[in-house]
Structure 1
Amino acid sequence: MDDVAAALGGQAGTVVFGHSLGAVLAYELVHLLSARGVHVERLVVSGSPGPWTQREQRATGLDGDEFLARVEEFAGFRHEALDHPEMRELILPVLQADCEMHENYVPSTDEPVSVPILSIRGGSDGLVSAGQAQEWQKATTGEFSYAELPGDHMYLVDQARAVLDLIGAESFGRAPRGGTPVTC
């Protein structure tokens, strides 16, 4: 986080985006940037409950096929790379660490950010409810907006253009151009 914060310096128009675990990482980054006096235009969180919400559905501690079945169940997505033994061997430990980090995440502070937050979720996300995605409103003293796009937890795989258009419209009042997008 320190390296990302240093690289951004004081660039204008910075929008920080994170999906799932990336959403809480992005939230922590915004706290760090704010403490360093870096202006962030907007925090965009996706597919994640509010930062103080512990996940009800857990996959931590499950092994192999049971873990992947649980992730597929609540994410509504399974990448074909997991069907290839060599790729599975590479991806599985990373995916397990990702789930464990998100399921055990505790915010570094109880203080909300002053940056406007846009929370997005897939309309049929079985992992994050609309209410949980809207809990991000408590994480800011600034503006809050909420949007749903078609799809499940991994909606952004098929909705990338719609996500970018939404971020551009919310953050800059236009389609995105210029500025510095940061993805967590």
Structure 2
Amino acid sequence: MLAYEIARELERTGHRLRHLYVSGSPGPHNGRTERATGLPDEEFLARVQRFAGYRHAAFDDPELVEVLLPVLRADVEMHENYRASSTEPLSVPITALRGEDDELVSREQAGQWSAVTRGPFAYQELPGGHMYLVDQPEQVLRLMAGSPACG
């Protein structure tokens, strides 16, 4: 959502963007229906981990949880309460990426990004769940490096 809003602002101020990649996210005009914001700590962590299909080892260390929890809560709240600043389509090409086993964001939700651009749209699934980037970041980098926008 942050990259989308930055792209929107850059276009508004006359900057020409080459490409916008979005990952594991429904289109910006359609929020998530299941929520974790406001839950007690343990429930919140369990819900977020269920959403992501992933549990980081840092959450096994109480001292790290104390540091990470406020940041994670802020991130989740931002995503759950986000409302797009405009419905005007961008002109930049958009590629929506998604883990093929993502249980948080469906193919249909990731495909909603096609309505957000007047430019070309591409959809790409990569092996893994919602947190596919953690396990195989090289795949995303290769995909982006092979894009005409990066050449």
Q: TM-score, normalised by structure 2?
A: 0.96
Residues 165-180 of structure 1 correspond to what in structure 2 (within 5 A)?
165-172=142-149
Deviation (angstroms), 1:168: 1.8
Distance in 1, matches of 2:2 and 2:18, equals 17
Aligned CA RMSD, in angstroms, stands at 1.1
Q: TM-score, normalised by structure 1?
A: 0.79
Long gaps (5+) in structure 2: none
Deviation (angstroms), 1:167: 1.2
Long gaps (5+) in structure 1: 1-23, 175-184
The answer as to 2:118 corresponding to 1:141 is yes
Deviation (angstroms), 1:44: 0.1
Change (3 A) 1:33 1:173: closer
The answer as to 2:59 corresponding to 1:82 is yes
Count of aligned residue pairs for this structure pair:
151
**Helix, strand or coil for the counterpart of 1:146?**
strand
Which amino acid counterpart does residue 59 of structure 1 have in structure 2?
A: A
2:42 is aligned to 65
**Helix, strand or coil for the counterpart of 2:48?**
helix
Deviation (angstroms), 1:35: 1.4
Which structure features the higher share of strand residues? 1
Distance in 2, matches of 1:173 and 1:63, equals 43
2:103 is aligned to 126
Distance in 1, matches of 2:114 and 2:66, equals 38
Deviation (angstroms), 1:158: 1.4
Distance in 2, matches of 1:108 and 1:101, equals 14
Deviation (angstroms), 1:172: 3.4
Which amino acid counterpart does residue 138 of structure 1 have in structure 2?
A: A
